[in-house]
């Protein structure tokens, strides 16, 4: 075998086994979660990500205001995605959404939460559902006290400090064994930004996203695809931030 053949093989293995999502293993009875930065969920904000799982029930994502009223709780229940949110002050303001079925088919699914003042749209793949929160305050918590964004479960330390959660019951939900990639924040800004893993427990350390290994996209958004990083420039252009050179399409693969 020639050295270059071995080398090609080696690069191929690297791409196939390592360029995946962040995998949360969720061993039973143990702490497990992946932690991403805060979401500045102002009235036009969005949050989206892709997930892949074979488990039908458990916590997919959670973030809250640090223990007052506001929360976003997204879970799988019998293979359907259920979102519960509260963005108005008071305990009676929560609204629910349910979308999709058989989402535990071990294929990638894209979730998007899009805020538009009192209306929130929750989408999974091509299906979406809207609901409206009635109240006088549509701001999601106060940024300084808001929690980070958690996937698959929450840190066990909250068990001793349930008062720091707006929805303490989340600690008694089943953790989810799930793979996550392309966590993208419409962070109260015009252009979307990628969130990177901040911390985690029970993660499979062999996997990192393609865009975390190599991000060739400059000011454009990097999307981790199976074949490697892809650059998405349309939003960046629309927001007048595009200083890019050399990209001709809106969504152009840069190869693996």
Ligand X SMILES: *[C@@H]1O[C@H](CO)[C@@H](O)[C@H](O)[C@H]1NC(C)=O
For residues 99 and 81, is the Cβ–Cβ distance under 8 A? yes
Contacts of 139 (CB under 8 A, 6+ apart): 42, 43, 87
Q: Which segment (26-34, 54-62, 142-150, 223-231) binds ligand X by CB under 6 A? A: 142-150
Residue 256 in contact with ligand X, rule: CB under 6 A: no
Residue 95 in contact with ligand X, rule: CB under 6 A: yes
Residue 129 in contact with ligand X, rule: CB under 6 A: yes
Residue 195 in contact with ligand X, rule: CB under 6 A: yes
Q: Which segment (14-22, 52-60, 140-148, 201-209) binds ligand X by CB under 6 A? A: 140-148
CA dihedral of 141, 143, 148, 152, whole degrees rounded to 10: 30
Q: Which segment (74-82, 99-107, 188-196, 225-233) binds ligand X by CB under 6 A? A: 188-196
Nearer to ligand X, 151 or 175 (CB): 151
Q: In what order do the strands lie in the sheet with 221-225?
A: 221-225, 228-232, 251-253
Phi, psi (deg, nearest 5) at residue 122: -115, 120
Residue 100 in contact with ligand X, rule: CB under 6 A: no
| Cβ count near 91 (within 10 Å) | 10
Q: Which residues bind ligand X (CB under 6 A)?
A: 37-38, 40, 44, 95-97, 129, 131, 142-145, 185-190, 193, 195
């Amino acid at each position: 075998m020639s050295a270059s053949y071995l080398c090609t093989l080696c690069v191929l293995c690297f791409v196939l086994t390592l360029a995946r999502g962040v995998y949360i293993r969720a061993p039973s009875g143990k702490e497990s979660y992946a932690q991403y930065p805060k979401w500045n969920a102002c009235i036009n904000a969005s949050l989206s990500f892709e997930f892949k799982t074979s488990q039908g029930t458990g916590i997919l994502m959670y973030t809250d205001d640090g223990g007052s009223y506001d929360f976003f709780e997204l879970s799988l229940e019998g293979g359907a995605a259920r979102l519960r949110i509260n963005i108005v002050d008071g305990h009676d303001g929560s609204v629910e959404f349910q979308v999709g079925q058989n989402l535990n088919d071990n294929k990638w699914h894209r979730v998007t939460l899009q805020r538009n003042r009192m209306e929130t749209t929750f989408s999974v793949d091509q299906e979406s559902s809207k609901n409206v929160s009635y109240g006088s305050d549509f701001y999601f918590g106060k940024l300084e006290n808001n929690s980070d964004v958690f996937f698959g479960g929450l840190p066990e330390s909250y068990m001793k400090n349930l008062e720091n959660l707006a929805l303490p019951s989340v600690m008694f939900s089943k953790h989810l064994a799930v793979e996550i990639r392309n966590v993208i924040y419409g962070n109260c800004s015009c252009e979307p930004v990628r969130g990177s893993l901040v911390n985690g427990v029970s993660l499979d350390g062999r996997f990192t996203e393609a865009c975390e290994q190599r991000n060739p996209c400059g000011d454009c958004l990097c999307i981790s695809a199976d074949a490697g990083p892809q650059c998405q420039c349309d939003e960046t252009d629309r927001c007048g931030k595009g200083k890019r050179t050399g990209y001709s399409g809106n969504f152009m693969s840069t190869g693996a």
